[in-house]
Amino acid sequence: MTAEIRAEMVAQVHSVFVEAGAAVTAGDTVILLESMKMEIPVIVEIDGVVLEISVVPGDVVYEGDLLVTLASS
């Protein structure tokens, strides 16, 4: 089963902490977004493996944009 992590607001991608193939655990921060001078961590809610990262630092994302696709374990 796959899971998609999507942006919850308009923001700029500040940092990406994982790459495709990385194992993640619920609670891990995978991306750091910046909006209105605030840093917003994107945290995974399930254990899994990163299949694809759809953004790079500097990208501007909008509410609903795909950030990361996971294969849940």
Predicted local distance difference test score (pLDDT) of residue 57 = 98
pTM for the whole thing?
Answer: 0.92
The whole domain housing 25 covers: 2-72
| Domains contained in the chain, number | 1
CATH number at residue 15: 2.40.50.100
Q: What is the dihedral of CA 11, 62, 3, 14, to 10 degrees?
A: -20
Predicted local distance difference test score (pLDDT) of residue 73 = 72
Strand partners, 64: none
Burial of 8 (0-12, 13-18, 19+ CB in 10 A): middle
Name residues of the chain where pLDDT drops below 70.
Answer: none
